[in-house]
Structure 1
Amino acid sequence: MATVSFAARDSRTMLRRNLKKALRYPSLTLTVVIMPLMMLLLFNYAFGTALGTGINQLPTGSGDYIDYLAPGIILMAATSGALTTAISVCVDKTEGIVNRFRTMPISQASFLTGHVVGSVIQTMTSIALVIGVALLMGFRPNATPVEWLAAVGLLALLTSALTWVCAGIGLVAKTVESASNIPMPLTFLPFLGSAIVPTDSMPTGLRWFAEYQPFTPIIETLRGLWLGTGIGSSAVIALAWCLGLALVGHVWARRAFKAGAKR
């Protein structure tokens, strides 16, 4: 019990450190938030009429393209937020602070825990901001409180999973630049799913990829929870992807951290 208590205390200290660092240097967080907001504005106002007209069955709600678009862009906020973890972990590694932590009598797991929990808090705050802007633009979900809670829980689970993966990327990246570039495909992978248009409208090869990549079932589950569209097996597949990514990311990050201590 004492070991667990010390680990929790050290993790809280690391979390406080990372949150204070984010408040003092907000440029990275703001940059990550701006990208989904720009995409939301661009696709809704510049392409919304053309894309909305081409979609035969819009989700229930106001009937506008924003109802179809918003869940995918909100998910993009989760993928963008994970980038901050890779960068911040790599910065600590390249500046030598990680080696300093290793010589101190603290829980070795607290370094990664503090980064991951801090990033999840920042990303969920960014997601709330994107949801608020989407509501101002006309996004009209008809979800019950329980469905809202399920949607937020799914986003939190996805954010945690991607954050652990990006923590591993930050530990193995040689430079901060590579740490920021390696996870970049995660940000745009939702566009190769059903974030912008239904997968049925895509060419055969791209449609196959879009239907079987991890973000499409997550987007469809969010749409179903918020707008009452059919979910089918998407919820189970979405949970499986999130849990699988979380497990792989957690194991990878822990091993990468231990491997760095042996060098």
Structure 2
Amino acid sequence: MTATTISKAPESSPGRAGRLRHAVADAWVLTGWELLHWRRNPGAVLGAVAFPLIMAVMFGFVFGSAMNVPGGGDYREFLMPGMFGQTMAMGVVTTVSVMAISATRGLTDRYRSMPMSALGPVAGRACADMVSSAIELTLMMACGLLIGWRVHNGPGPALAAAGLLLLLRFSLIWVGVWLGLRLSPEAATTAWMPMFPLTMLASTFVSPAQLPAPLRVIAEWNPLSATVTACRELFGNPGSPGGSWPAAHALELALAWPLLITAIFLPLAVRRYRRLDR
């Protein structure tokens, strides 16, 4: 009788598709964990949206009567797309703070000690922040409707405008992840200081055409200005005059800027996560 030897083929290392499935599964699990945490602490989301809601009411009613919209129109309709954009941009402060605290308290090290994709934890953070941002944007739009803001071009363009706002937020999440993994929690709490003037030096509250020449150029090329100007056009709200090249091509820039920011900072964020102990 002849003995037959059955040899087991060596297991092949997972290919790119397998690694991608692994990263998606990790991101899904960590997204659920983050959302469960927010479900038990809804004040975190409400606290993040309280400040822009107060700003919208204050600027819309306290300062609105003194504001002139280029080309005419209701200032509150001019204001609200700017407030939507500012809310999305300022969300980076939350991302920076959460990532810095997670890294300092050992949560990030715990993830790295597990058989987990390097993309999974940062992607999970990004997905959770996108859910939070969608909630914040919905609340801001409801507030806008209460103070007189209206959509004039129908639901299709309005959904496209909301998509542009969330695309900007998605790109800035990667900036926040990268910064949060480099800063201490104490330094992360000051992240709002540079962000606030950057969101003001845009077409958020006034048209860049009303600013002095040096500031006008910065405001016109600010990525936030591109998104806000494109949203005003899609919502049918009064907007900035299209005399400059950035204003005339706001929709193209509202797509190009977030894609460029994501292409730069997403790889940097993943690389920084991998090298935390170096």
TM-score of the two chains, using structure 2 as the length reference: 0.86
Structure 1 counterpart of 2:29: 13
Structure 1 counterpart SS, 2:91: helix
Structure 1 counterpart of 2:155: 145
Structure 2 counterpart of 1:219: 228
- CA RMSD, 1 decimal: 1.7
Question: Given the alignment of the two structures, is residue 236 of structure 1 paired with residue 252 of structure 2, yes or no?
Answer: yes
Task: Work out whether residues 208 and 220 of structure 2, in 8 Å CA contact, stay in contact via their aligned partners in 1.
Answer: yes
Deviations 1:146-182 (A, max 9, x none): 2112111111110100111101111001x21212323
1:28 CA drift (Å): 3.4
Structure 2 counterpart of 1:3: 19
Bigger radius of gyration: 2
Between the aligned partners of 2:180 and 2:94, the Cα distance in structure 1 is 9
Unaligned runs of 5+ in 2: 1-16
Aligned residues: 255
Q: What letter is aligned with 1:68? A: F
Between the aligned partners of 2:260 and 2:161, the Cα distance in structure 1 is 18
Counterparts of 1:246-261 in structure 2, within 5 Å, are 246-261=262-277
Structure 2 counterpart of 1:135: 145
Task: Work out whether residues 100 and 180 of structure 2, in 8 Å CA contact, stay in contact via their aligned partners in 1.
Answer: yes
Question: Given the alignment of the two structures, is residue 47 of structure 1 paired with residue 56 of structure 2, yes or no?
Answer: no
Task: Work out whether residues 118 and 270 of structure 2, in 8 Å CA contact, stay in contact via their aligned partners in 1.
Answer: no
Task: Work out whether residues 72 and 190 of structure 1, in 8 Å CA contact, stay in contact via their aligned partners in 2.
Answer: no
Question: Given the alignment of the two structures, is residue 166 of structure 1 paired with residue 176 of structure 2, yes or no?
Answer: yes
Between the aligned partners of 2:65 and 2:110, the Cα distance in structure 1 is 55
Indicate which of 107, 117, 120 corresponds to 1:110. 120
Structure 1 counterpart of 2:187: 178
Structure 2 counterpart of 1:65: 75
Structure 2 counterpart of 1:31: 47
1:5 CA drift (Å): 2.7
1:30 CA drift (Å): 2.3
1:247 CA drift (Å): 1.4
Unaligned runs of 5+ in 1: none
- Bigger helix fraction: 1
Between the aligned partners of 2:263 and 2:180, the Cα distance in structure 1 is 17
Between the aligned partners of 1:149 and 1:183, the Cα distance in structure 2 is 28
Structure 1 counterpart of 2:6: none
Cα–Cα, structure 1 residues 143 and 187, in superposed 2: closer, same or farther, change >3 Å? farther
Deviations 1:242-261 (A, max 9, x none): 11111122022111111114
Cα–Cα, structure 1 residues 134 and 188, in superposed 2: closer, same or farther, change >3 Å? farther
Task: Work out whether residues 70 and 207 of structure 2, in 8 Å CA contact, stay in contact via their aligned partners in 1.
Answer: no
Between the aligned partners of 1:208 and 1:2, the Cα distance in structure 2 is 47
Structure 1 counterpart of 2:211: 202
TM-score of the two chains, using structure 1 as the length reference: 0.91
1:106 CA drift (Å): 1.9
Task: Work out whether residues 72 and 195 of structure 1, in 8 Å CA contact, stay in contact via their aligned partners in 2.
Answer: yes
Deviations 1:194-219 (A, max 9, x none): 11111111112221221122211211
Moved over 4 A (4+): 228-231
Question: Given the alignment of the two structures, is residue 245 of structure 1 paired with residue 254 of structure 2, yes or no?
Answer: no
1:220 CA drift (Å): 0.7
Between the aligned partners of 2:215 and 2:117, the Cα distance in structure 1 is 46
Deviations 1:218-259 (A, max 9, x none): 111010000166663111112111111111220221111111
1:184 CA drift (Å): 4.0
Structure 1 counterpart SS, 2:71: coil
Structure 2 counterpart of 1:96: 106
Task: Work out whether residues 29 and 84 of structure 1, in 8 Å CA contact, stay in contact via their aligned partners in 2.
Answer: no
Task: Work out whether residues 69 and 78 of structure 2, in 8 Å CA contact, stay in contact via their aligned partners in 1.
Answer: no
